[in-house]
């Protein structure tokens, strides 16, 4: 399993997420298996406000230089089990303040880094924004 962290300039939403979290990342995708299809795409799972406001499984063309890839040790089946569940906008906002996020229990709603932290088996997954998650994964190597 691989986690792909979005680091390209992106849209104003990406800028806002990076500014609020003091991070170079604004989004994370979970890649269960690195298999490239005939169109040069890789299938990945993520909770995304842009893709219908839910957890989705879809093909992505990962542009060189736009992503940072980190090998994960989690169970990608946990991500697949969440496909179709709603996006957690308030959870994503509160992840910038771990103290408040910790008090908010999971309610069947997900944001991208929370889902990835859950799949990786990290405690209090709702407290992870993309940058904090990348730091946690890199520090365990």
Helix, strand or coil for residue 57? strand
Q: What is the mean pLDDT of residues 54-69?
A: 96
Residue 50: which pLDDT band, with cuts at 50, 70 and 90? confident
pTM of this structure: 0.93
Ramachandran angles phi, psi of 57, nearest 5°: -120, 115
pLDDT number for residue 90: 82
- Domain boundaries along the sequence of the chain: 2-139
Helix, strand or coil for residue 104? coil
Percent of the chain with pLDDT over 70: 93
Q: If you average pLDDT over every residue of the chain, what do you get?
A: 91
Q: Dihedral, CA atoms, 62, 1, 54, 6, nearest 10 degrees?
A: -40
Assigned token pair, 87: 């996006």
Residue 92: which pLDDT band, with cuts at 50, 70 and 90? confident
For residue 97, pLDDT over 90 is answered with no
């Amino acid at each position: 399993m691989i986690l792909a962290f979005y680091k390209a300039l992106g849209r104003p939403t990406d800028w806002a997420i990076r500014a609020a979290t003091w991070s170079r990342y604004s989004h994370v995708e979970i890649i269960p298996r690195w298999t490239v299809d005939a169109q040069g795409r890789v299938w990945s799972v993520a909770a995304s406000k842009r893709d219908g406001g839910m957890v989705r499984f879809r093909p992505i063309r990962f542009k060189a230089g736009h992503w940072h890839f980190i090998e994960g040790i989690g169970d990608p089946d946990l991500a697949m089990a969440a496909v179709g569940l709603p996006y957690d906008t308030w959870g994503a906002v509160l992840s910038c303040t771990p103290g408040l996020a910790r008090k908010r229990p999971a309610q069947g709603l997900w944001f991208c880094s929370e889902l990835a932290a859950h799949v990786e088996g990290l405690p209090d997954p709702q407290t992870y924004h993309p940058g904090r998650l990348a730091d946690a994964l890199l520090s365990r190597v």
